[in-house]
Structure 1
């Protein structure tokens, strides 16, 4: 039994020695890891920022009748595009036609009375000159003429008012745009200035309102001063990116003290009716133009509590931890305000292989993501 145990231990020792003989020598360091590096460069760039906005129609009308009556006809297809002046609703016109005829008849009566009074006043002047009537009778006839003239003006106003009321029985579109559904249908009573018949919104162009925080507004002030109507990019839900272009045409005159934001407005063409009032929209607005901007791959920027840093590869292929001051993120790249110089190499892939500053690496040069493209905002 002892003999067998001795043979077994001897065999294990031989195997261990054989394994040690074929492995690496004790204490030998592993080779430096390979990492991908990119060269820092500067380029002209326009920096953008993203905001969330809402689509608003420039003109919105709640259609209400100016006269009361029963709806006699609805003359539009719900949801259709209408032109300014199109008749949308007709209120029963018979009572208003009758009132117009009565007003016109009263006008004729007053006009006839005025003609008689003017003749009486003319004769009164002749009779007064010949002392055939008293001064009192003369004054009475002149006053009667003046009263009939006033009655004629009132009768003419009554006719005009009756004619307007008759015109108001046709409720017309005050603007061109898209009409909503009919809220009151044929046969129902509509009260003047009270009953909501339908709503109408303009469709081309459309407004997009969005709000910016105070710091972003301060950053963009120089650019906005140089270009009072910069182009903004707009995207809707379900769309990739921001394919629509609009013009910034309004900045509010004060900041909201409750939210610390200021309101912006962009106007966007809408010939196809893509934009609908009430929609949410993504708005990308330029906030700064830089002649020489240093932008690097965002993956290269690391965080240590509240500090940002990158790994720079020296000429000796050693890693150096470099603190940087970062700006806004633009797409897949980040603006570096300070800490890097053009021509330096930074690690963009393989950062997990670096365990400490000064560690040797094998750099493999690659191009930065997004280099040479436009700098678009990744988010706000």
Structure 2
């Protein structure tokens, strides 16, 4: 036997030995994967719904001229906040003053003629007792007197009309509010046909109007109707820059007609709009809400409700819907199909599929399959703190299709 044959036999014997004792190369079986769990518990939360809306002034007035005259002076600063009765424009007064004086002179002339007619009627009445008196003469005198009395009344009405026209030469603010820019300047002829001179809109409070899809309006009515209807909700606003407005408001109107082209109903609320900064020397003020501004309306229930809540990170989804993995009594993972209610980034409310006290896997989900044994333990402090701080999470962004978006607010201390 040469050296090569001897080496081959030695190698073959080693392979047979390894095959016979192969169990010594098998790695030890791993234990069940460790997972973090939380218990599904009842939490008091505030239900809310979001809609797209616009700010509207409670009062809005288009200022127009009531008489035709030259505009002599503008008496306000564009953008200033005014009180009711503040002077806005002064028109040329001369022609109207002359017309008023003429009408007053006509009244004086007719009154003098009336006094003479009264004396004539009195003499005719006295003569009726003598041979020279005639009934027809007396009747004619009385008729002339009454005719003159009517003419005096008509002339006095003309005086009042002239006085009204003269007063119209001073245009004043009809409401409290913020005035816009002027459409005309001094020296122009203005009149009823000149259009709008300027616009005044009230500032505090403001309306916010928003369309609600009919289906969701029915859901809101069923949800809040037994709790007081419009009084059961408050309004909060998210401004265009994403910041929440500091004041809350109340609903005060629901339209009586459904918009056929959108199948929505218009809802309106009222909210305070105080001055942000003191007025400048020119009287210009700044309010946070502006007429026509686009905002997101958040409807929140006044009374919190109890819902079953779990961390949002525990919810998984597939083609059949949402589900979670729970730990059973034998420490095996179980798949539970659930139906979610309103949710926010850290908390999900469960309508069905779970019961209070169920142990939901929230950490280690990628290592677990349904039916697999697990080693459960408490979830990390980060998960638990996010559950407690759910109320401080920012609401989800609105659906700009013009319908709704929802969120929860954890009210538990």
TM-score band w.r.t. shorter chain: 0.7 to 0.9
- The answer on whether the counterparts of 2:347 and 2:390 sit within 8 Å (CA) in structure 1 is no
**Structure 2: how far apart are the matches of 1:374 and 1:223?**
21
Within 5 A, what are the aligned runs for 1:322-337? 322-330=336-344, 332-337=346-351
- The answer on whether the counterparts of 1:223 and 1:289 sit within 8 Å (CA) in structure 2 is no
Cα displacement (A) at 1:215? 3.1
**Structure 1: how far apart are the matches of 2:303 and 2:352?**
17
**Hey, what does 1:140 align to over in structure 2?**
140
Does the residue aligned with 1:277 lie in a helix, a strand or coil?
A: coil
**Hey, what does 2:259 align to over in structure 1?**
256
TM-score, normalization: structure 2? 0.81
Q: Which range is displaced more, 63-72 or 315-324?
A: 315-324
Does the residue aligned with 2:338 lie in a helix, a strand or coil?
A: strand
**Hey, what does 2:238 align to over in structure 1?**
235
**Structure 1: how far apart are the matches of 2:345 and 2:193?**
53
Q: Which range is displaced more, 47-56 or 321-330?
A: 321-330
**Structure 2: how far apart are the matches of 1:147 and 1:337?**
87
**Structure 2: how far apart are the matches of 1:83 and 1:288?**
36
Cα displacement (A) at 1:287? 5.2
**Hey, what does 1:226 align to over in structure 2?**
227
- The answer on whether the counterparts of 1:54 and 1:210 sit within 8 Å (CA) in structure 2 is yes
Does the residue aligned with 2:164 lie in a helix, a strand or coil?
A: helix
1:338 aligns with 2:334: no
Q: Deviations over 1:119-152 (max 9, x none)?
A: 1111111122324243332222211111110110
- The answer on whether the counterparts of 1:296 and 1:368 sit within 8 Å (CA) in structure 2 is no
**Structure 2: how far apart are the matches of 1:25 and 1:343?**
44
Does the residue aligned with 2:78 lie in a helix, a strand or coil?
A: coil
**Structure 2: how far apart are the matches of 1:127 and 1:79?**
74
Q: Deviations over 1:282-304 (max 9, x none)?
A: 22112595643112222222222
For residues 298 and 212 of structure 1, do their structure 2 counterparts lie closer, same or farther at Cα, with a shift above 3 Å needed?
farther
- The answer on whether the counterparts of 2:50 and 2:299 sit within 8 Å (CA) in structure 1 is yes
**Hey, what does 2:34 align to over in structure 1?**
34
1:310 aligns with 2:324: yes
Cα displacement (A) at 1:27? 6.3
**Structure 2: how far apart are the matches of 1:335 and 1:357?**
22
Cα displacement (A) at 1:33? 3.5
1:369 aligns with 2:386: yes
Query: Which runs of 5 or more structure 2 residues have no equivalent in the other structure?
Result: 276-286, 399-404, 406-413
**Structure 2: how far apart are the matches of 1:215 and 1:374?**
28
Does the residue aligned with 1:352 lie in a helix, a strand or coil?
A: helix
Cα displacement (A) at 1:100? 0.8
For residues 248 and 370 of structure 1, do their structure 2 counterparts lie closer, same or farther at Cα, with a shift above 3 Å needed?
farther
RMSD value over aligned CA atoms?
Answer: 2.9
Q: Which range is displaced more, 80-89 or 292-301?
A: 292-301
Equivalences, count: 367
Cα displacement (A) at 1:118? 1.1
- The answer on whether the counterparts of 2:71 and 2:190 sit within 8 Å (CA) in structure 1 is yes
- The answer on whether the counterparts of 2:234 and 2:301 sit within 8 Å (CA) in structure 1 is no
1:279 aligns with 2:288: no
Q: Deviations over 1:134-185 (max 9, x none)?
A: 3332222211111110110111101100111011111111100000001011
Query: Which runs of 5 or more structure 1 residues have no equivalent in the other structure?
Result: none
TM-score, normalization: structure 1? 0.87
Within 5 A, what are the aligned runs for 1:1-380? 25-26=25-26, 28-192=28-192, 194-221=194-221, 222-227=223-228, 228-229=230-231, 230-272=233-275, 273-286=287-300, 291-330=305-344, 332-354=346-368, 356-366=369-379, 367=384, 369-371=386-388, 374=391, 378=396, 379=398, 380=405
